[in-house]
A and B are shown apart, each in its own frame.
Chain A
Amino acid sequence: MLYFSKLRILFITLFSVLFILIASSNLFKFDDNFFNKKINLGLDLQGGSYLLLEIDNEPVIEQKLQNLTTTIRNYFKEKNIKINNIKIENQNIFFNVTNNDKQSVLEVFQDENSDLNPYYPRFKSHQLEIEDTGLNFKVNFSRQGLIKLKTSSQDQAIEIVRRRVDEVGTNEPNILKRGNNRILVELPGLDDPTRIKSLLGQTANLTFRFVTNDENDRFGVEKLKFENGLEEATVSKRIIISGENLLDAQPKMDTQANQTIVSFTLDRVGAKRFGKATSTGIGKQLAIVLDGKIISAPVVRDTIASGSGQISGGFTFQTATDLSLLLRSGALPAPLEIIEERTVGPDLGQDSINAGMIALAIGFTLVIIFMFVKYKIFGLITNVTLIVNLFILLGVLTLFEATLTLPGIAGIILTVGMAVDANVLIFERIKEELKDETNNILAFDGGYTKSRTAILDANITTLLAAIILFFMGSGPVKGFAVTLGVGIFTTLFSVYFIARLFTSIYVSRNKNKEKLI
């Protein structure tokens, strides 16, 4: 156990130096890309906002079912199968058929290559489930159908969220999927997330629809409130143009009326439709509806064929800016709810870093003094090893660009406290060996060999705890699991290679010394 080949010594030295260099790249700037890595600071240390958003898919399901009833009706109409009483109740579609058609309807839904009920060839499960209750059919989304629906609305939503966050222009935002209906937004350096929260809290579904008094409108009508919540108007459900038709939207100052407006540009389709609607609808009121509320309902005075227009509605410059931003980034497929928020101000983050560093320095010093007093020369070896261990730990964290959190710093300090354990186990064992063994080298050899199982056991148990914590823990706590877990490996390396190397050098030079330890 005490013999080291020259090659091995070289390897250990190189390895340690490499990691010390990598670790120090946090302090200095290297030109080399390989060394120019940094440990990321968690939001609790650098300050910032963490928002967890949940997509409310209910309206999407409702809408999809609505569309499906039309599709089903048309599909069977073409096949000359009569579908009666089709309706939606509690997120199920119900309809009746005659006895003769029952079998053919079932076949359509259960056919593996059904074009009405897809997914089977790919997922071995249909999009829709059909339940036969006599002459009544009940159709709803299958598990696979729901998953597909949720992931697709998540895909759309994350895109919109990204655009909105980017528009606000925060520092390196981190936007990730969580499960199939959540989105995690991390905004480093942002200490007041109020604006982002309000931007993400709006669906931004914009439609232009005519105000009508005709109760028998072909498309149906609905009563909508104005933004101020006081007035009401009856609006046709026919959508002239929607947010999808917008190419651009910008806040502007209307110097004539002396008010802030949002001016917009339409795409080709939108421009055409807008032009047509404004030419036929002169004198009518055109309601501009955002998320079910009327922003304003100006009277059409002229045909607008240019494909651009403006929205006024008593905006301040800030609200006009935000509305343009929302319109530019597009509508969310479904409303988002902020279900978790954690915001740390930058000065608290800095305080945490300082406190963590002071605690590390003090903890480290205490442990070093203790070990030196207790073991003298071997304490010194342990201490040098401990320092190298700390650097290697930081080096590994740097190499993987891990995120350091406040609990993560606690994990490093704890590693310092527990890292000496392995060396202590070895030294104590050597002491015992020396009671019966006069040959120093044999005693040291025995000490290393016989303490191995205990050291391995002890570290595996801690590692198991760290692994569970890594997979089950969230946010800052994960950082603790990382430093604790990585710390175990670096400790084992430094104890078995670095400390053992020093010990072997010392012991071989003092072979015949009495009371060696």
Chain B
Amino acid sequence: MIAFNKYYNHFNLLSSLLIVVSLLLLIFKGLNFGIDFKGGTLIELRASDSKINVSSLRDRFNQMNLGDVSVKKFGNDTDFLVKFENKDNKKNIIDEIKANLDKSFGNNYDFRRVENVGPKVSAELLKSGVIAISLSLALMLIYIWIRFEWQFSLGAILALFHDVIVTLGVFSLFSLEINLSIIAAVLTIVGYSMNDTVVIFDRVRENLRKYSDIKIFELTNISINETLSRTIITSATTLLALLAIYFFGGEILKGFSLAMILGVVFGTYSSIYIANTVLVRLRVSQKTVLREDEKK
């Protein structure tokens, strides 16, 4: 048996630190919102001429008065991602850009993807993204509140907040782009993290009913160990699937799978080191469970 409980305090400290740092990052550095949430135009361009590179593209686009322009390599050496504000929301901007690029590069490039999101739509998408995440957290709270005693709910929700905040913190730290698929990833993380916590909690409660003489500090450790191989195997297969998406699923799914990978790692960690320690700190005992059983 691994003595997970030996490190409860250490890891609680670490988690608190992680959450504080993430919150500070989110407040002061903020998130790097993509055009889905900020509005603007995105062009994925494939070049067939080595003359076309990040700096030559940047020069060209900067001359066109498009506001803030960012040009990045996108996967291959020949693929580029250009983003700009398109502040005036000009209608024929893509035609103008094409005409302009034709002058310098001839016919040696191709627009593979064009996205243009107006300010109204981006504001709505941001709003519905925030609502979706809040709603999922609320639903999880309700679900766990129905299924478990309040001490368990608190533990699970704290673990959930930890996972979401720290994942977003990493995205803020590395200025990774937040777009629609990241919202999907965050929601899935919420589901996964809850899933992981619930499985351990289920065992904790079962053991609470079984043993009256074991303190919760020991009991959580027993439960974690009993469910450990399941935790490892499920995280492993999920991570294998996600790694396959990350490395082979193409550039568009990179951000999504990275967020999910982070979420699964944090989710597994938090089920052990946050959810359970809340039970310990709230001094959950057999009485907590039996009292609830009687009510039913």
Physical interaction between A and B: yes
B195 touches A414 (CB 8 A): no
**A residues bordering B, Cβ < 8 Å?**
44, 52, 54, 194, 197-198, 201, 337-345, 347-348, 351-352, 355-356, 358-360, 362-363, 366-367, 370-371, 374, 406-407, 409-410, 413-414, 416-418, 420-421, 424-425, 428, 432, 453-454, 457-466, 468-469, 472-477, 480-481, 484
B240 touches A366 (CB 8 A): yes
Residues of B within 8 A of A460 (CB): 143
| Other A-B pairs beyond A352-B252, A413-B242, A417-B238, 12, CB < 8 Å | A54-B120, A198-B92, A339-B120, A340-B117, A358-B249, A371-B237, A421-B230, A424-B229, A458-B195, A464-B139, A464-B191, A472-B129
B233 touches A374 (CB 8 A): yes
B91 touches A344 (CB 8 A): no
Cα distance, A438 to B261, chains bound together (Å): 40
Cα distance, A410 to B41, chains bound together (Å): 25
Residues of B within 8 A of A425 (CB): 199, 230
Smallest Cβ-Cβ distance to A459: which chain B residue: B195
Pick the contact of B227: A410, A414, A428 (CB < 8 A).
A428
Cα distance, A425 to B233, chains bound together (Å): 10
Residues of B within 8 A of A407 (CB): 181, 184, 253, 256
Pick the contact of B140: A406, A464, A466, A475 (CB < 8 A).
A464
Instruction: Enumerate the 4 nearest inter-chain pairs by beta-carbon distance, A residue then B residue, closest first.
Output: A417-B241, A363-B244, A465-B191, A355-B250
Residues of B within 8 A of A428 (CB): 227, 229-230, 233
Pick the contact of B180: A341, A347, A462, A477 (CB < 8 A).
A477
Secondary structure of the B side of the interface?
helix
What interface size band does chain B fall in? 35 or more
Residues of B within 8 A of A457 (CB): 147, 195, 198-199, 202
B136 in the interface (beta carbon within 8 A): yes
B135 touches A370 (CB 8 A): no
Most chain B C-beta atoms within 10 Å of own C-beta, residue among A352, A356, A457, A481: A457
26 contacts between A and B (CB under 8 A): A338-B116, A340-B121, A341-B116, A341-B117, A344-B113, A355-B249, A359-B250, A363-B243, A406-B252, A407-B253, A413-B249, A416-B241, A417-B237, A418-B237, A424-B234, A425-B230, A454-B199, A461-B195, A462-B195, A463-B191, A465-B191, A468-B132, A468-B187, A473-B184, A475-B180, A480-B181
Cα distance, A484 to B189, chains bound together (Å): 13
A355 touches B143 (CB 8 A): no
Take A341-B115, A454-B199, A461-B198 as given contacts and tell me if A469 and B184 are in contact as well, using a CB distance cutoff of 8 Å.
yes
Take A359-B249, A413-B241 as given contacts and tell me if A477 and B198 are in contact as well, using a CB distance cutoff of 8 Å.
no
A477 touches B183 (CB 8 A): yes
In angstroms, how far is the closest chain A Cβ from the Cβ of B102?
14
B248-282, CB < 8 A from A: 248-250, 252-253, 256-257, 260
Smallest Cβ-Cβ distance to B43: which chain A residue: A343
In angstroms, how far is the closest chain B Cβ from the Cβ of A228?
18
Smallest Cβ-Cβ distance to B233: which chain A residue: A424
Residues of B within 8 A of A360 (CB): 244
**B residues bordering A, Cβ < 8 Å?**
44, 91-92, 94-95, 110-118, 120-121, 125, 128-129, 131-132, 135-136, 139-140, 143, 147, 180-181, 183-184, 187-188, 190-192, 194-196, 198-199, 202-203, 226-227, 229-230, 233-234, 236-245, 247-250, 252-253, 256-257, 260
Residues of B within 8 A of A454 (CB): 198-199, 202-203
Residues of B within 8 A of A477 (CB): 180-181, 183-184
B132 touches A345 (CB 8 A): no
Most chain B C-beta atoms within 10 Å of own C-beta, residue among A44, A371, A464: A464
Take A425-B230, A464-B140, A469-B132 as given contacts and tell me if A418 and B238 are in contact as well, using a CB distance cutoff of 8 Å.
yes
Smallest Cβ-Cβ distance to A412: which chain B residue: B241
In angstroms, how far is the closest chain A Cβ from the Cβ of B181?
6
In angstroms, how far is the closest chain B Cβ from the Cβ of A194?
6
Secondary structure of the A side of the interface?
helix
Pick the contact of B230: A54, A197, A424, A468 (CB < 8 A).
A424
Residues of A within 8 A of B183 (CB): 473, 477
Smallest Cβ-Cβ distance to A420: which chain B residue: B237
A343 touches B115 (CB 8 A): yes
In angstroms, how far is the closest chain B Cβ from the Cβ of A11?
29
In angstroms, how far is the closest chain B Cβ from the Cβ of A73?
37
Residues of B within 8 A of A198 (CB): 92
Most chain B C-beta atoms within 10 Å of own C-beta, residue among A406, A410, A459: A410
Cα distance, A461 to B242, chains bound together (Å): 19
Residues of A within 8 A of B147 (CB): 457
Cα distance, A469 to B181, chains bound together (Å): 11
Smallest Cβ-Cβ distance to A462: which chain B residue: B191
B250 touches A417 (CB 8 A): no
Residues of A within 8 A of B118 (CB): 337-340
B135 touches A474 (CB 8 A): no
Residues of B within 8 A of A366 (CB): 240-241, 243-244
Residues of A within 8 A of B190 (CB): 465
B237 touches A367 (CB 8 A): yes
Residues of A within 8 A of B237 (CB): 367, 370-371, 416-418, 420-421
Cα distance, A362 to B257, chains bound together (Å): 15
B244 touches A197 (CB 8 A): no
A355 touches B248 (CB 8 A): yes
Pick the contact of B240: A347, A363, A432, A476 (CB < 8 A).
A363
Cα distance, A461 to B136, chains bound together (Å): 9
Residues of B within 8 A of A418 (CB): 192, 234, 237-238, 241
Most chain B C-beta atoms within 10 Å of own C-beta, residue among A342, A345, A454: A454
Take A367-B237, A413-B245 as given contacts and tell me if A466 and B191 are in contact as well, using a CB distance cutoff of 8 Å.
yes
B244 touches A359 (CB 8 A): yes
Most chain B C-beta atoms within 10 Å of own C-beta, residue among A54, A406, A414, A466: A414
Residues of A within 8 A of B192 (CB): 418, 462
Smallest Cβ-Cβ distance to A414: which chain B residue: B241
A343 touches B113 (CB 8 A): yes
Residues of B within 8 A of A339 (CB): 118, 120-121
Residues of B within 8 A of A347 (CB): 110, 112
A345 touches B110 (CB 8 A): yes
A465 touches B136 (CB 8 A): yes
Smallest Cβ-Cβ distance to B111: which chain A residue: A345
Cα distance, A104 to B110, chains bound together (Å): 69
B94 touches A194 (CB 8 A): yes
Cα distance, A351 to B46, chains bound together (Å): 13
Cα distance, A341 to B115, chains bound together (Å): 5
Residues of B within 8 A of A363 (CB): 240-245
Residues of B within 8 A of A474 (CB): 125, 128, 180
Cα distance, A341 to B117, chains bound together (Å): 6
Cα distance, A468 to B137, chains bound together (Å): 10
Residues of A within 8 A of B128 (CB): 472, 474
In angstroms, how far is the closest chain B Cβ from the Cβ of A188?
15
Smallest Cβ-Cβ distance to B195: which chain A residue: A458
Residues of A within 8 A of B234 (CB): 418, 420-421, 424
Take A428-B230, A461-B194, A472-B132 as given contacts and tell me if A481 and B238 are in contact as well, using a CB distance cutoff of 8 Å.
no
Cα distance, A345 to B110, chains bound together (Å): 9
Take A461-B195, A469-B132, A476-B180 as given contacts and tell me if A367 and B112 are in contact as well, using a CB distance cutoff of 8 Å.
no
Cα distance, A197 to B196, chains bound together (Å): 48
B250 touches A356 (CB 8 A): yes
B114 touches A342 (CB 8 A): yes
Smallest Cβ-Cβ distance to B234: which chain A residue: A421
